[in-house]
């Protein structure tokens, strides 16, 4: 059984009369990379700040390795936080910035020096010890902030939107480096972001936060391929979303009609006639085919973009204004306004109940 290093038990946070977090419970495992993902204002940063002690808990408990730390000062919590702006001291060198926490904790000099050297080596900043933050690039500053976090030898590192200030190329490089570092250290990372790509790239598990509660918790693959709510399906990646009604059922197949008039076969899950369903189909699961068969319809390409690695198109069908999003991993050329057959394989359809509005 995996060891729980942090437990949030029915945690709530209220400002005045309004709850921003309500009855949130979550187990975080030793050595995992957990991402709190959600839109701005959903409460994810508040959760991180409560774990760090920078925000007081209104209701509930927080445990670190079984010890109640709900009311423990941030100074005495064995966690470190890396903030969005890195919070480096501009008048201090790289060495002194990394040494700051050790100095405050009065760690013996010989032990501190070894830890700093090890941390600098881990984040690949050898030779930068005497430089000041103003002499570093954004990526180098981020590495200093990480080194300052890991040098304390705490078991948990909290990262609040720590890559958001980097340009896209550097951000992608740092995603890979951060995950490698986390694996090497075997440290628990709790990462806050609104960026889906960051979450999918780095995480062992993702907690989707919406309006102060957890919508879904699971691995990146589970979250992406098997969304349990409409919010998750719509927030993570792109989705084609259809409202549908069951019109006919057989032993293994149910026949549903979407609001747009598509008649689709889906796997039967004890559906009844007139059951209302929400269908989720990822763009990359839609096929462009040469002939009509089950779950196949004709449409017109209204927008086609090719970027070398893949092609994205929008396909209008019937009299609908709504267009189908399709992603293809081939280099075949398609023209706007050309007609194509599109197929929605029944095994690629995720089905939610009609309680997902």
User: What pTM did the predictor assign?
Assistant: 0.88
pLDDT for the residue 44: 94
Q: Are 154 and 79 in contact (CB under 8 A)?
A: yes
- Within this chain, do residues 192 and 55 fall inside the same structural domain, yes or no? yes
Looking at the structure, do residues 184 and 245 belong to the same domain, yes or no?
Answer: no
Both 298 and 216 in a single domain?
Answer: no
Query: What's phi and psi for 336, nearest 5 deg?
Result: -60, 145
CATH assignment at residue 255: 2.40.50.140
Give the Cα separation of 206 and 35 in Å (integer): 5
How confident is the model at residue 181, as a pLDDT? 86
Which CATH number covers residue 45?
3.40.50.300
Q: Are residues 259 and 141 in the same domain?
A: no
Indicate the residue among 187, 211, 235 that finishes a domain.
235
Say whether both 248 and 319 belong to one domain.
yes
What is residue 161's predicted lDDT score, i.e. its pLDDT? Answer: 84
Helix (H, G, I), strand (E, B) or coil at 192: strand
Q: In terms of domains, do 53 and 127 share one?
A: yes
Rounded Cα distance between 9 and 72, Å, is 16
Residues 288 and 182 in one domain: no
- Tell which of 209, 235, 261 closes a domain: 235
- Give the pLDDT of residue 280: 95
Tell me, what's the pLDDT at 244?
94
Query: Same domain, yes or no, for 194 and 139?
Result: yes
- Evaluate the CA torsion angle 115, 116, 117, 123 in order and state its sign: positive
Boundary of a domain, candidates 215, 235, 255: 235
Domain that holds residue 86: 4-235
> Got the DSSP string for 293-354?
-TTEEEEEEEEEEE-SS-EEEEEE-TT-S-EEEEEE-S-----TT-EEEEE--GGG-EEEET
Q: Do 231 and 289 fall into the same domain?
A: no
Burial of residue 16 (CB within 10 Å: 0-12, 13-18, 19+) is exposed
Regarding whether 293 and 212 lie in a shared domain, the answer is no
Q: Where are the alpha helices (DSSP H) in the chain?
A: 44-52, 94-104, 109-122, 138-150, 168-185, 196-202, 220-225, 230-235
pLDDT along the chain (357 residues), means of 10: 92 92 96 95 94 95 96 91 82 94 90 92 90 89 88 90 76 84 91 92 95 95 92 91 93 92 91 94 93 89 86 86 87 85 94 67
pLDDT at 354: 65
Residue 1: per-residue pLDDT: 65
With a CB cutoff of 8 Å and minimum separation 6, the contacts of 66 are none
The angle, 0 to 180 degrees and rounded to 10, between the axes of the packed helices 94-104 and 138-150 is: 20
Q: How does 314-332 read in b/e, with b if 16+ C-beta sit within 10 Å?
A: bbbbeeeeebbbbebeeee
Considering the domain architecture, whether residues 261 and 158 belong to the same structural domain is answered as no
Q: Name the residue among 123, 190, 113 with its Cα closest to residue 150.
A: 123
Q: How many domains does the chain have?
A: 2
């Amino acid at each position: 059984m995996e060891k729980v290093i942090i437990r949030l038990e029915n945690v709530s946070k209220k400002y005045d009369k309004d709850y921003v977090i309500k009855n949130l419970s979550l187990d975080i495992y030793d050595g995992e990379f957990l991402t709190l993902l959600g839109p701005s204002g959903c409460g994810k940063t508040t959760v991180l700040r409560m774990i760090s002690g920078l925000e007081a808990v209104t209701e509930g408990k927080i445990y670190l390795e079984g010890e109640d730390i709900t009311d423990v000062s941030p100074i005495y919590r064995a966690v470190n936080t890396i903030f969005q702006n890195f919070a480096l001291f501009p008048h201090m060198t790289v060495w002194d910035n990394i040494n700051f926490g050790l100095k405050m904790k009065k760690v013996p000099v010989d032990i501190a020096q070894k830890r700093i050297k090890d941390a600098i080596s881990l984040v690949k900043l050898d030779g930068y010890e005497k430089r000041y933050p103003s002499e570093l690039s954004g990526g180098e500053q981020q590495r200093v902030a990480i080194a300052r976090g890991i040098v304390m030898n705490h078991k948990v590192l909290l990262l609040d939107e720590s890559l958001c200030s980097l340009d896209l190329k550097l951000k992608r490089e740092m995603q890979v480096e951060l995950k490698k570092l986390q694996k090497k250290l075997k440290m628990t990372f709790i990462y806050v972001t609104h960026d889906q790509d960051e979450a999918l790239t780095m995480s062992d598990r993702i907690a989707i936060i919406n309006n102060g509660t957890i919508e879904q918790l699971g691995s990146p693959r589970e979250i992406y391929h098997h969304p349990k709510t409409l919010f998750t399906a719509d927030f993570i990646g792109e989705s084609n979303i259809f409202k549908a009604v069951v019109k006919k059922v057989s032993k293994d197949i149910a026949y549903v009609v979407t609001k747009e008039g598509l008649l689709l076969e889906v796997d039967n899950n004890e559906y009844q006639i007139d059951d209302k369903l929400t269908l989720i189909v990822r763009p990359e699961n839609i096929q462009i085919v040469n002939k009509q068969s089950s779950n196949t319809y004709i449409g017109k390409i209204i927008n086609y973009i090719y970027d070398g690695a893949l092609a994205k198109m929008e396909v209008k069908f019937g009299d609908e204004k709504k267009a189908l999003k399709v992603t293809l991993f081939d280099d075949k050329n398609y023209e706007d306004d050309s007609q194509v057959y599109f197929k929605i394989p029944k095994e690629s359809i995720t089905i939610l109940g009609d309680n997902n509005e």
